[in-house]
Structures are given as structure tokens and as C-alpha cells.
Amino acid sequence: MSDRLDVIQCTIAHALEKTKYLFSDLYWRNLEEYHHFSLQFTADLIAMNKSDFIISSTHQEIIGTEESMGQYESYQFFTLPGLFQVQGGINLFAPKFNVISPGVDEQIFFPYHEREKRTAAKTRAIEARLLRDAADDVFGRLRDPDKPPIFTLARFDRIKNITGLIEAFGMSKALRTGCNLIFSAGTVDPGRARDPEEREEIEKAHAMIERYALHDQVRWLPGLQRLDTGEAYRIMADRRGVFVQPALFEAFGLTILEAMLSGLPTFGPLFGGPQEIIENDVSGILINTSRPGLIAAGIEPFIASCARDASRWDEMSRQGIRRVRESFTWKLYSEKLIGLAKLYGFWRYSISKAEKQELNRYCDILYYFLFKQKAEALPEH
């Protein structure tokens, strides 16, 4: 469309798959049936190079950190054995790369103490479903629903690591004594899973709950409607709970922003975008999510300190709200995006014609001789 209409092309990628799955390039054939990585990575290369400008959520998405590779950085040099080898796939130093962090919808997500914005009937209905009501699609009945909740919500993907949080809770005497675990993810019934990976994670969750005998300390709900998630966070904050994002890697972390703005003290992984959202031990806490024991060890001190001093919870709640309102609103996002669109509208017509032709040939080869043929060969669903 950009070429045909001669308009600016901006690419905003929520997350790239390449760094989520270890060695997904070298072993692309093993995952091709479900993920079609050869098509994904080729499309990524074309989009990155054809775009007039690219928006990422964090700096580490582009260039990584001292310990980890950036999502875009991983496209500089890689090999899909038997298909192609990439050398200099993307110029990370091109001015087209920009960082604008997403915002939060403040109509849905706002602090729990702003009671005038909340609807009492809606709060009661969601609270009953989260904590008490029996239903065929909900697992677990809490023995003591008044305990502070550890709350999370996400897709039931391996990378989101909800089973790691369940195991962390199960193996921690301190967390089981002081809290309940409540999570909203996928479906309780593995037979209704969307794909084999989700089914495997659901079965693993059931096994963990059984192994640690968590039936009366865990409440498991299917995914919530988006319009209900804000109130769910606020209900957890009403009960002096915490939000934990246990992902093995998180490209950015919108749920982290949502929970923080709702006033819920928030834990996020050390790996990925949360490093640029959370001011550690001020507006939230960064934890190592690579093993269940490390997740538990990251949460336990805060829970213990809140039991000793309630002001610790209050201060973390205030700082989380402050952090989001200062740096992660859609007003800030839209102002920056409009400014960049104006800038790159000029830039598009000022770069060398020869350079642009060379880049177009590179992308056309990838598209016509690889991507298009492989995409057309996919079976229809």
C-alpha cells in the first residue's frame, strides 16, 4: 500500500517472535507446522526494511541489554538452515528506529480509591466471580477468601509462565500461609484449548495444583472480558493484593501498566520491557522469573514487609500510579507519534533515490521468490 499510494509506512510491532523461542531460527523446521517461523521472519525483514519509520515500546527491543539480545538486533545476522542466511538484515543505527512506549486506557484502568468512577453493582458481580461463586468454567473454592490475593492474567502460553507462578506459590510456605493465588487464563478444560501449547500448559497447571494440594488456595478463571479487567485489578487492590507478571520474557508489559495504574503493587520479570517500566523497589519490583524458586523468593520479602508495616503497600501503590501517569499515557504517545509522522514525511522524500531502489530490490527478491510462494503453498484453514 505504501508503494502503490506513495504514502509513509510506519510499523509498530507489539512483539517479535524470534527472540521468544530459543533457536527458533536454527530449528525453524521443527516449529513450522504451528508457527510458520520461516514466513514470520521473512515478513519481518521485509517490513523492517520497507518502513519509513519503526516504533518500538522500549530501547531494549531494538538493541537489547548487556545480557540479552534485542528483538530487532536478532535480525542482523541469522540462518534458517536449508532456506537462507542473513547478513546485515537490518541497520540498527538507521534513524528510522524510535521508542514510544504504549499508554493505558484511563477510562478502563484507574486507581482503586477513585470510588466515584466505580459502579457498585459491577464491583459486586466481578468480585463474586473472582472470589466466591461456583461455576462450571471456574476452578477452585478458596478456604479463606479474605487473604490478600496474588493475581495474574495472561494467555496460557509457555512464555507467559503461569505454571511457573503456580509452582512458586505451591512450594512457598510463606506465600501459601499469607495469600491466595488467583489467575485468569485460557480455559480450565484442556479439551477446549486453542492449540497444543495451550493444552500442554493447562494440563501442567492441573498437575501442579494436584501436586501441591492447592485446591482451596487457588482460584482459576478463564480469560476476562477487557472491560472487566480494570475492575478486577481494583478488587485485588481493595484486598491489599499484588499483581505478578511471571513471564519468562515480556516484550513490553501492558498488564504491568494496567495493574500499576489501578493501584496494585506489581512484580515484573527482569527480562525485557518491564525493566523500562518499573523503577525497581520504588514503583514496582523486578524479579527473576526463570525458575519457580526465584519467583517465590522475589515476592516473599514484600509480602512479609507489608504484614509488618501496611504503609509499605500504600507507598508502592502510590508510586506505581505516579509512574504510569508521568510516562505511559496515550496522550503522550499520540503527541510523539504525530511528531514523528511529520518528520518522516519529509525524510521519505529526502533519501537518495539509488539507495531506495537498492533496498526495494532486496525486499522484492525476498517477497516474490520466497515469501509469496511459501504463503500460497499453505493449506487453507
DSSP label of 224: P
Q: Does 100 have pLDDT greater than 70?
A: yes
Whole-number pLDDT of residue 229: 96
CA–CA–CA angle 162, 163, 164 (5° rounding): 90
Pairing state between β 84-87 and 77-80 = antiparallel
Predicted confidence at residue 352, as pLDDT, reads 63
Do 174 and 272 have their domain in common? yes
Return the C-alpha cell found at 366. 525476498
pLDDT at residue 381 tops 70: no
Query: Is 207 or 96 the better-scoring residue by pLDDT?
Result: 207
Coil, strand or helix at 250: strand
Task: Say if 237 falls within a structural domain.
Answer: yes
Do 53 and 154 sit in the same domain of this protein? no
For residue 305, being part of any structural domain is answered with: yes
Residues 143 and 286 in one domain: yes
Cα–Cα nearest to 144, from 171, 181, 174: 181
Residue 91 lies inside a defined structural domain of this protein: yes
Total residues found in the chain within this entry? 381
How many CA atoms does the CB half-sphere of 354 hold within 13 Å? Answer: 0
Q: Is residue 23 part of a domain?
A: yes
pLDDT value at 280 more than 60: yes
Residues 174, 39, single domain; the answer is: no
pLDDT at position 351, please? 66
Q: What pLDDT is stored for residue 159 in this prediction?
A: 92
Residues spanned by the domain of 350: 2-101+331-377
Is 110 part of any domain? no
Same domain for 191 and 82, yes or no, is: no
Q: Give the pLDDT mean for 348-374.
A: 83
Rounded Cα gap, residues 197 and 202, in angstroms? 9
55 and 143 fall within a common domain = no
What is the CATH classification number for the domain harbouring 227?
3.40.50.2000
Given a cut of 80, whether residue 316 has pLDDT beyond it is yes
Assess if residue 109 is contained within a domain: no
Q: Does 262 share its domain with 127?
A: yes
pLDDT on residue 16:
83
Q: Do residues 262 and 112 lie in contact, with contact meaning Cβ atoms separated by under 8 Å?
A: yes
Q: Is the pLDDT of residue 355 over 80?
A: no
Q: How far apart are CA 88 and CA 77, in angstroms?
A: 6
The DSSP line for 270-298 is SSBTHHHH--BTTTBEEE--SSHHHHHHH
Q: CB of 102 within 8 A of CB of 333?
A: yes
Phi then psi for residue 161, to 5 deg, are 60, 35
To the nearest whole percent, how much of the chain has pLDDT over 90?
Answer: 71
- Cα 8 to Cα 2: distance, rounded to the nearest angstrom: 6
Same domain, 320 and 336: no
Nearest CA to 15 out of 87, 95, 74 is that of 74
Query: Do residues 377 and 39 touch, judged by C-beta distance below 8 A?
Result: no
The reply to whether 319 and 225 lie within a common domain is: yes
Q: What is the mean pLDDT of residues 52-76?
A: 88
Are residues 170 and 305 both part of a single domain? yes
pLDDT in tens, 127-149: 999 999 999 999 999 999 999 99
Reported as a single tens digit per residue, the pLDDT across 23-45 is 999 999 998 988 899 999 999 99
- pLDDT tens string 188-213: 999 998 888 899 999 999 999 999 99
Residue 106 lies in a domain: no
Nearest to 242 by CA among 278, 204, 198, 291: 278
DSSP lists the bridge partners of residue 104 as 329
Tell me what pLDDT residue 15 has.
Answer: 74
180-184: strand order across its sheet? 218-221, 180-184, 149-153, 242-244, 266-269, 285-287
Predicted local distance difference test score (pLDDT) of residue 266: 98
pLDDT at 27: 93
pLDDT at 162: 97
Is position 108 within any domain? no
Q: Are residues 318 and 359 in the same domain?
A: no
Is the separation of the CB atoms in 237 and 320 below 8 Å? no
User: Strand ranges (DSSP E) for 129-252?
Assistant: 149-153, 180-184, 218-221, 242-244
DSSP annotation of 87: E
**Is the alpha carbon torsion for 147, 123, 186, 104 positive or negative?**
negative
pTM higher than 0.75: yes
- pLDDT tens for 325-343 read 999 999 999 999 999 888 8
Q: How many domains does the chain have?
A: 2
Mapping DSSP to helix (H, G, I), strand (E, B) and coil, where does residue 380 land? coil
The answer to whether residues 254 and 176 belong to one domain is yes
